[in-house]
Amino acid sequence: MNAVLADREIELTLLDDLVRTADNGGGALVVVSGPIGVGKTALLGAVAARAEAGTAVLGATGSTLERLFPLGVVRQLCEPVLAELDEDARARVDAGLTEFAKPLFSAENCLGVPIDTRDPAMQQVMHGVRHVLTVHGEARPVLLLVDDVQWADAESLRCLGYLANRLTGTGVVMVVTVREGSPDGDNQGVRALLSCASRLLRLGPLSATGVRAIVRQRFGESGSDGFVQACGEVSRGNPMVLRAVLDELVAEQGEPVDSAVDWVHACRPALLRDRMAARLRAQPEPAMVLLRALSCLGQAADQDTLSRLTGLDALGYAEIVRSLTAQGFLLPKAMPVFAHPVVREAVDRLTSPAQAERLHVNAASLLHSAGRPAEEVAAHLLAVPSPQAMWAVDVLREAAESAARRGDVEAAARHLRRALLDTAPESVDRADLLLELAAVERVVDAPAATRHVLEAVSLSVGAAGQAAAFARLAPASFAMSPPTVLSALRRVADQLGAPSELTGSERELALRLEARAMMGDCSGGPRIEAAVRRLREGDHDRLLETQGGRELLAVSLELTAVAGAMSANEVARRCQQVMDREPATAGQHGTGPLLVCALSLADRAEQAGTWLEDALASAVRQHDRVAQAVVEACRTLVLAGMGRGEELSVAATGLAAVDGWFDAVSAAGMLRVLTSLELTVGPGSFAVNPLAARTLELSGHRTDHPAISAMLRMVAASRVRGENDRHAVELLLDAGRQLDRAGWRNPALVPWRSCAARELHRFGDTDDAVELAEAEYELAVAWGSPAAIGHALVVRGALTPGEEGIRLLRTAVDVTQDSENTLIRATAHLSLGGRLAADGDAEAEQHLRRGRDLTDRTTARRLVEQPVNGSGGSAGQVEPGRPLTVTEERVMAMVVDGLTNQAIADELGVTRRAVEKHLTNVYAKFDVTGRAELKGAFVVSS
């Protein structure tokens, strides 16, 4: 049996019985109704196929294209009968016809001559049709099947109605189908015909068993339960929809399994859409108006809004919804919903651009008047290309703010770009819009953001207006701004004047510009000196009282911390002063991340904990996802400062996947987090870290910035590590020198010297390794944070053999007791424990246990297995035959060229003592005793 009829056994059995009774001269009219695609036509086909031998099956189909052709449906029924009549039957037919009707029922021209369809001529035609069918059914039952009778012509409907009232004794069973709810069926002819029905069969949706039967027929297997369930949900038991979806899956060479469930839900068959569009074209205009309005409103559709948008009264609205639901275009729910997404697509295809624009404009106005959410209203304004009134600008700005709060910066940018269409080209409102747009565009389109900032500044009135435009952007965002923006910023600051020469709001603006200019300055030493000078000036307390002053202090404190130009304790104390006066609100991105970065470097990250908790609570209350992302970025800085590796790794990965935080966090802050990850996860993680990739993606245009330049070299070093470790070290040293030239000398930010020292020691370049380690230690002591000093001592202890190395490691353990950084504390204990264990000291287990307790097992194992593990022995000895370092090769070449030690020192920019150390290593590696032997060895090696 055809699978589409798997749920139609009751209907088929009833129709079979009626056909059998017709063999005894009985007659009946059965009406089959249901929505589009439910299987009415298939049921007629099955009835015809099941008819017993000897049953005469006559069929006809109504069509919208032939409704104006009189007697078209009747002609389809009678032509085959008249063509098959033998002489005897022909004679009986003619005997029952009037002289007027005989030519109309000839085999050659069945109903093919013009007829006056008014009485009495039409009466003779109707009688003639019944007579022809009666004669045809004298020796056999006649099954008369008419599909889509709602589209039959009026004359045929009149004939069918006449026949339906006179079926007794004809042996004719008439089965007609009608689309339920169709407005075409709401006419006198259809109503008169249906009123004669002896049975009314309404076809409902397929059951789960029926759906499975169709799947089995299409694929040769029943399909998984999940797949069958999905098919039932998508098609809602409509065979036409179900078959269209399955045909698409077959075309895609898919299978009826659980993995195809999502595909089934997303499927939009083009042939199904075309068929729906063809059926919709026959709908009356009021119905199409409602369907277009429903498509326009989407989820915002309700009876009141739809009625107002369409202009329908309550009675007209209810009648159209009832009709469309009965036809299968809408679901039978309290609020109108399309039966399938392709119905909406078909409606949209039948909607002109002018109609769509008019609908969206009216919908936006209605929803705005009703107080609906701004993003709901803005969705309609986005679809309108023509300028609107100023209320539309307010709605779009509010929608952009809402989208930005939840972290959808692309949606925010779309709303603001659309708002620009409704503002005058030279207006101040346009300048504000451009700045709002630039603030969100930096994440998705940095060049566009730059253009919009400069355009906004040019539209602002006077120096104060232009300064206010720049002040709308967070200070940290200027670190990555292109030179054109920074040049414009400095120009406006010069025009406005120095803060010391201004008062009131102009002074406040001048302070905010100074903070942003200081953040964008990459001059190195001069910028650091300016930051320190700001912190030491006498108006410190006055700066704390205003937003602009606190922004300037926050920028100065981060720069000072990055440079290590003031003690860690002093920086932490001043950061706390600013935080005590800075409200921890959701929108406060200007100072918080900068202060947290400085505290993280000062080994006081925990000080920011309460402030961040309050800021997060404020962001959650306001549903501000951007503010939440900024707090999460600050949290990574706290975790970096506290050395909590596993939590930091998870938080950094999560941060890489969200937007909105980048403009609030400085490049130094990101460098701090990424370096901590490298130390925590292990060497080489820089190249695969998603946060590093995201940071460079957003700031790769500023390769001149020291932090970005250093990051790029660190990524490169991570990539070659393991394949070319020497080159990796050179890249690391190059990154460190870049930071040094910019004045970023604090080892707490990037301990590049100690990291390079470990590798150089592994290569046998012990003197260079020790020199780097000692230089980092001196910088760490000057900065004063326990974590920085402890890290430097651990490396020095690892490079130093014997009791002196153990003493340095013990000092590291003592110093780090006051540190918040558990990673550094664990490293100190594990390094000392490893050295003591190598010497057989029983105290080793105590330190190893303490180190393991302080950090996670993975990190602890990595720390224990460091290449330089403090095992002592020949750490200061150089074995013959080992390769030369890059520096040693240069020294050797200069010796062969005849340069003295002092000349070599001057050429390399190092001390004479450093040259002597390098030369001693060269002698040892070549196993020679002096310069003369070295020249000979050089010739041989060459």
Q: What is the DSSP string of 691-718?
A: HHHHHHHHHTT-TTSHHHHHHHHHHHHH
The domain made up of 392-656 has a fold known as 1.25.40
Q: Do domains 3-202 and 392-656 have the same CATH topology?
A: no
Q: Count CB atoms within 10 A of the CB of residue 351.
A: 16
Pick from 476, 491, 503, 471: nearest CA to 593? 476
Q: How far apart are CA 388 and CA 376, in angstroms?
A: 17
Q: How far apart are CA 820 and CA 187, in angstroms?
A: 86
61 and 149 Cβ atoms separated by less than 8 Å:
no
**Which one of 1.10.8, 3.40.630, 3.90.380, 1.10.10 gives the CATH number of domain 275-351?**
1.10.10
**Segment among 368-377, 680-689, 811-820 with least mean pLDDT:** 680-689
- pLDDT value at position 113? 59
Nearest to 219 by CA among 254, 260, 183: 254
What's the confidence (pLDDT) of residue 910? 64
Measured between alpha carbons, how far is 394 from 382 in angstroms, rounded to an integer?
13
| Paired residues of 146 in beta bridges | 60, 176
Give the bridge partners for 61, in sequence order: 147
Give 417: exposed, middle or buried? Use CB within 10 Å, 0-12, 13-18, 19+: middle
Which pLDDT score, from 0 to 100, does residue 858 have? Answer: 42
Q: Predicted confidence band at 117 (pLDDT cuts at 50, 70, 90)?
A: low
Average pLDDT rounded to a whole number, residues 2-29: 77
What pLDDT is attached to residue 885?
A: 66
The number of beta carbons lying within 10 Å of the beta carbon of residue 567 is 15
Please state, in angstroms and rounded to a whole number, the distance separating the CA atoms of residues 48 and 421. 63
Q: Is 338 helix (H, G, I), strand (E, B) or coil?
A: strand
Cis peptide bond N-terminal to 120, omega within 30:
yes
In Å, how far are 117, 240, 315, 796 from 99, measured between CA atoms? Answer: 17, 48, 52, 125
What distances in angstroms separate CA 195 from CA 15, 188, 658, one per listed residue? 19, 10, 65
346 Cβ partners below 8 Å, 6+ apart? 273, 274, 276, 277, 280
The pLDDT tens digits for 128-184 are 888 888 888 777 888 999 999 999 998 889 999 999 998 887 778 999 999 998 888
Which residue has 């006056």 as its token pair? 116
Instruction: Tell me the two tokens of residue 538.
Output: 């006498």
pLDDT of 411 > 70? The answer is: yes
pLDDT-based confidence at 444, cuts 50/70/90? low
According to DSSP, the β-strands at 172-179 and 28-34 are: parallel
Q: How confident is the model at residue 341 (pLDDT cuts 50, 70, 90)?
A: very high
- Give the pLDDT band of residue 561 (cuts 50, 70, 90): very high
pLDDT of residue 586: 47
User: 322 versus 860: which is more confidently predicted?
Assistant: 322
pLDDT surpassing 90 at residue 554: yes
- Domain ranges within the chain, ordered by starting residue: 3-202, 208-267, 275-351, 392-656, 751-875, 886-941
Answer CATH for 886-941 from 3.30.465.10, 1.10.10.10, 3.30.365.10, 1.10.510.10:
1.10.10.10
DSSP line for 67-130: TTSTTHHHHHHHHHHHHH--HHHHHHHHHTS-TTTGGGG-SSSTT-S----STTHHHHHHHHHH
Q: Are 884 and 892 in contact (CB under 8 A)?
A: yes
Query: How far, in Å, CA of 113 to CA of 124, rounded?
Result: 14
Which of 288, 284, 206 has its CA nearest to residue 245?
206
The tens digit of pLDDT for each residue in 343-379 reads: 999 999 999 999 999 999 999 999 999 899 999 999 9
Contact 475, 469 (CB under 8 A): no
Torsion angle in degrees (nearest 10) through CA of 178, 180, 183, 185: 30
pLDDT computed for residue 23 by the predictor: 65
DSSP-derived 3-state class of residue 459: helix
In this prediction, residue 668 carries a pLDDT of 86
Is CATH 1.10.287 correct for 751-875? no
Spatial neighbors of 191 by CB under 8 A, at least 6 apart, are none
Q: Give the total residue count for the chain.
A: 942
Into which CATH architecture does domain 3-202 fall?
Answer: 3-Layer(aba) Sandwich (3.40)
256 three-state secondary structure: coil
Share of residues in the chain with pLDDT > 90 (%): 41
Look at residues 550, 500, 493 and name the one whose alpha carbon lies nearest to residue 521: 493
Average pLDDT value for the chain = 85
What's 185's DSSP letter?
G
Q: What single DSSP character describes residue 560?
A: H
The pLDDT of residue 868: 40
Q: pLDDT (tens digit, 9 = 90+) per residue, 831-848? A: 999 889 888 888 988 998
- pLDDT given at position 427: 80
Residues sharing a CB contact under 8 Å with residue 2, sequence separation 6 or more, in sequence order: 42, 45, 46, 217
The rounded distance, in Å, linking the Cα atoms of 222 and 224 is: 7
d(CA 28, CA 171): 9
Strands 142-147 and 172-179: parallel
Q: What was the pLDDT predicted at 584?
A: 76
Q: What is the mean pLDDT of residues 674-692?
A: 71
